[in-house]
Chain A
């Protein structure tokens, strides 16, 4: 038995070693996520072009189908030619506008002979922010032998903060726990209390958590104290509070993570445990009944 086992074990080692060896023979490379770049209206044009090039090669994933001076593929048009002809396609459109629109609405700007296969640059999986799209346009203009004309605005930079914000269930939870009955959130909700977007922009997340824990701890100036009571907030689990505060903080452009105190492992876990316990006890009861019936049968 042991001898057979050893033979089989070595046979397995030989087989997996063969596969591992072949795995080492093929080209080896690590693919790293794109670098996070900050683009502001003050970013110099030359830097913007460099960022655009990085985005086109990395986050944008453009070279999966297109080609530029550094290589790529020919599933889509060569970007050098496409960029060079950008001001010739539509007489009423500047090269910048043409490139911008073709990145955002690729199906409307199809080059003849190529299928509809390109996702919009500002949609998944590329998910480029408005400022990043402009950086790519700047780079493409240089590819086409033009001077970059794009200008990143404050709005672009601000919008970039919101796009790709972390995921929070907070918006739905604010509805679920009735907060939007009195407060406005993202332009929707009541007006009894202050707009939570304003509150979140002025207060730290810890303050909002404190307010949820003890509504008398502070009150927004201009609103009467005592409107929000402990009864309103005491039923909200810790995890849900964290999620709501995280949503508000991130919407206000602040860094905040609700990690570590998530709701599925607070109250729901205990409730589920109780249900499982009751189920176990029910089975135990059924077992006792079956045992009694069996004994009765044996006695009969």
Chain B
């Protein structure tokens, strides 16, 4: 890895090395793909070495996507931290952003290798479909290659000029950071074109010939998936960085190291959870667009073949909320004065538990014939009331509000407001939360008495109330805590080691959840390559059992973490050697 105190020549050399690396990878992919194509007989589908072509694509695509999320999420995260460092003039934020960015170098290589492997597999195993898609979207994949080279150059320059572009030159470094993120976002949006077209095709005629490239790009699900993935990448990047900090914390030999990595883990988890909170709202939008594109697809997703996987998703998200709150409550142990708020933890825990139970309640209960006869159908006479969206929307909004309150309590753990309007401010904040709770609960109950089409609209009021309450609360909180009396400084590093396992849990669960959601998103096409247009005629066109799907997701998660461990190990080794050199 290049030093970050380099001159123009060395910076350019580092960027050139990255370009050569990508060029060689593309060349090798092209040659190997051509070799396969010329040596294998023509076919619509192929398999290699007796392996299932679908499983091969599934594993490699998901791993590529996870690393892609990592290398796109971490720079957003690093950039936000760098800006905070500039704004607060606290050097440690700059150091933190620098350390995050360092994690990227090897992750970029792994992402590119997996991307090339995916391309190779698509061309060799699904030649006809790949041929159709690449022909249809030729301008976009050429643009994609340009973006990849641009990202390599800008990201390398961002890293190698870190120490050189300080002080009055910092603005240039911030500009580079902005470019890295704009480029990264453009890469994400471009890759989403192909994926979303397969889900909700547009811009083609009845014979599937292209009529409008923009129509094909701007299909029903493109924009909501862009936004959903962008937010999810930040959450994912934050969770992975927090996991890295947790490893370093557990291996720390000095108090100073422990303090540094405790703080890093906190910042990572904070950004992860902050990004995680609006994610369900982006999900609602995506869901609505799916329904608008095809009612059948929406129904298959939510009420048909994939309905049970949402129960699994609810369990995962519920556990993520638990882990996030658990980490915050443990973290309050190192904040002098935070014990004032311990009394709220039981109440918050109860709301979370209740929310979790409601959200994980299935609409139809798995029951024997006798049990079903006793219940009078597959829906339990009482529990069935909690298995519907009216209850679930209410539960998830309450869980989001609860987690937000935990954050706000944590934030003011060691601070006492001294502004003259402190009491009024506190009352206004409490009223804000109470009003949001009232709106969420009211519409939750009311939803039971209106048709489904009206009920869907209510979720917007619930979401709006929660978002507005959070925004208003923070708007009051910032001036309220200005110049607040500090009971004592946060004792960074003095947190129970088990808290670090909460950070691992967040990272593992985020990753697994990404795998599951990726499967649902892709799986709802069922036996179609391109939904409603081009059918999958291969032997693997069937939708696998949920058990098989979860096994695949678990296997992918394990491989991902083994690869990420290698990235962490290299980053840690580099950091240690850098410190030794200093």
Contacts and interface: CB of A to CB of B under 8 A. Distances in A.
Q: Is the interface of B mostly helix, strand, loop or mixed?
A: helix
Nearest to A286: B12
A261 B42 contact: yes
B115 to A, nearest CB: 15
Contact of A290 (B8, B543, B551): B8
7 contacts: A12-B561, A15-B512, A23-B312, A26-B309, A27-B308, A34-B527, A264-B134
Interface stretch (A134-142, A161-169, A191-199, A215-223): A161-169
Interface in B525-582: 526-528, 531-536, 541-547, 549-551, 553-554, 557-558, 561, 565
Contacts of A34: 527
B485 interface: no
A17 B209 CA distance: 45
A67 B350 CA distance: 41
A262 B127 contact: yes
Contacts of B145: 272, 276
Contacts of A123: 532
B308 A64 contact: no
Nearest to A28: B545
Given A5-B565, A290-B8, A294-B9, A279 B19 contact: yes
B316 A260 contact: no
Contact of B16 (A31, A127, A284): A284
Interface string A256-277: 0111111111001100110011
Interface string A124-138: 111100000000000
Contact of A4 (B207, B251, B550, B561): B251
A280 interface: yes
A292 to B, nearest CB: 9
A290 B12 contact: yes
A258 B531 contact: no
A171 interface: yes
A287 B7 CA distance: 12
Contacts of B505: 11, 15
Given A8-B247, A23-B550, A265-B34, A125 B315 contact: no
Interface string A70-95: 00010100000000000000000000
Contacts of A65: 295-296, 299
B508 A33 contact: no
Contacts of B305: 29, 31
A31 B542 contact: yes
Given A26-B311, A167-B132, A125 B545 contact: no
A283 interface: yes
Nearest to A261: B42
Contacts of A169: 132, 135-136, 209
Ranked 4 nearest A-B pairs via Cβ: A124-B532, A23-B550, A260-B42, A262-B131
A290 B9 contact: yes
A31 B543 contact: yes
B554 A19 contact: yes
Interface stretch (B22-30, B262-270, B408-416, B476-484): B22-30
Given A117-B295, A167-B208, A279-B19, A64 B300 contact: yes
- Size range of the interface on B? 35 or more
B494 interface: no
A172 interface: yes
Given A15-B505, A16-B508, A17-B554, A287 B16 contact: yes
B74 to A, nearest CB: 20
Contacts of B542: 30-33
Contact of B251 (A1, A11, A127, A293): A1
B16 A257 contact: no
Of the listed residues A24, A31, A284, the one surrounded by the most CB atoms of chain B closer than 10 A to its CB is A31
B471 interface: no
B296 A287 contact: no
A69 interface: no
B286 interface: no
Of the listed residues B37, B210, B295, B309, the one surrounded by the most CB atoms of chain A closer than 10 A to its CB is B295
A210 interface: no
A181 interface: no
Contact of A291 (B9, B209, B501): B9
B453 A115 contact: yes
Nearest to A162: B207
A28 B558 contact: no
Contacts of A164: 535
B223 to A, nearest CB: 21
A5 B251 CA distance: 9
Contacts of B30: 265, 269, 273
Interface string B33-46: 11001001111100
Nearest to A16: B554
B149 interface: yes
Contacts of B508: 11-12, 15-16
B534 A167 contact: yes
Contacts of B210: 172
B218 interface: no
